[in-house]
Structure 1
Amino acid sequence: MAVLNYVRQWRSLAKEALDRTAIVAKFLCFLHVTNTYLCSSTLVYGPSMLPTLNITGDVVLAEHVSHRFGKVGPGDLVLVRSPDDPRKTVTKRIVGVEGDKVTFLVPMSTHQYRTAVVPKGHVWIQGDNTYVSNDSRNFGPVPYGLIQGKVFFRVWPPDSIGFLGQ
């Protein structure tokens, strides 16, 4: 009889452990889906988006739905997989979409301008601080598929909390 009680206790403990493991696994799946397909936070730092974003770093929220339905356009801040280094994500502003003519200041020049037409399936991105930004002026139009999200809200630093409009 003692052995039967011992087996029942272990079965009860094993069932409880499996139930708790299932809850944790479901929660982790929920976090993954939310972070990948709905909304995520990102640390953005560097001088290319001055004065919109701080050089020392801002934590921003980006939603991952709009760009999947083609709902991003000129003026929007977006997270983009870097064409120069696919391991990095950059934050830039969309300046032109397919078919737009974009006139831009040539990098490393003070008075030389060029014009480019954004091809189908691409966007033209630039940093707000044009003198230090590595953007479409350097690597050309960016395929729409490299857009990872649309930045909409700053959560850090506390004195700058708020929506990031166009």
Structure 2
Amino acid sequence: MSARLYSKVLGFLGYTLQYSCIAHCTFEYVGEFVVCSGPSMEPTITNHDVVFSERLSRHLYRIEKGDIVIAKSPFDPNMNICKRVIGLEGDKVCTSGPSDTFKTHTFVPRGHVWLEGDNLQNSTDSRSYGPVPYGLIRGRVCLKLWPPHSVGTLTESPNAGRILRTE
């Protein structure tokens, strides 16, 4: 009797390990569901919206200007941030804050991106901490899943005119 119980426990543990590995690989290499918090991406993404962040674009170096990404915070590696890509390496970006009188421009260094929130008056982003290493990007947000009335792909940035082109 105990051999049969032992066999069932081992079988259960084997299936659990297999499904755990599949789930880990899926969330690490395919994508993940993210609950966003804070006002920095309003009106595009509001507090408690649920989005799907796919990871293939990051691995294939397919992140483009205008994409919304989930990245590790440059200040706190235990926290993720959700921001829009404004500039890629070699791009010239306007770095002035909303209250700055003078506008300055910065070139995004190699291997980095410039991230900003859509809500410029209420966002801590690259204007505060500078260019973000590409390696901190976890994925590209491709779908909004919650709330139900706003399910679908995400709209263009309300600040689309601020995205500068490489010269």
TM-score normalised by L of structure 1: 0.88
Give the letter for the 2:22 counterpart.
Answer: F
**1:16 equivalent among 1, 5, 8:** 8
Larger Rg: 1
> Residue by residue, what CA displacement relative to the aligned partner does 1:60-112 show, whole Å, maximum 9, x if unpaired?
110111111110010000001111222110000000100001113325x1543
Equivalent residue, structure 1, for 2:162: none
What runs of 5+ residues in structure 2 fail to find an aligned partner? Answer: 157-167
Flag the structure with higher strand content: 1
1:1-166 alignment runs, 5 A limit: 9-54=1-46, 56-106=47-97, 109-164=99-154, 166=156
Distance 1:33 1:156 in 2: 24
Aligned-partner residue type, residue 68 of structure 2: L
The one-letter amino acid paired with 1:136 is S
1:76–1:165: 8 Å Cα contact kept in structure 2?
Answer: no
User: Identity over the aligned pairs, expressed in percent?
Assistant: 40
Off by >4 Å, runs of 4+ in structure 1:
none
Q: State the alpha-carbon separation in 2 of the partners of residues 35 and 124 from structure 1.
A: 25
> Considering only aligned residues, what root-mean-square deviation do their CA atoms show, in Å?
1.4
Is residue 44–residue 155 contact of structure 2 (8 Å, CA) maintained in 1? no
Q: Provide the aligned length of Structure 1 versus Structure 2.
A: 156
Output the TM-score relative to the length of structure 2.
Answer: 0.88
Contact 1:152 1:165 in 2 (8 A): no
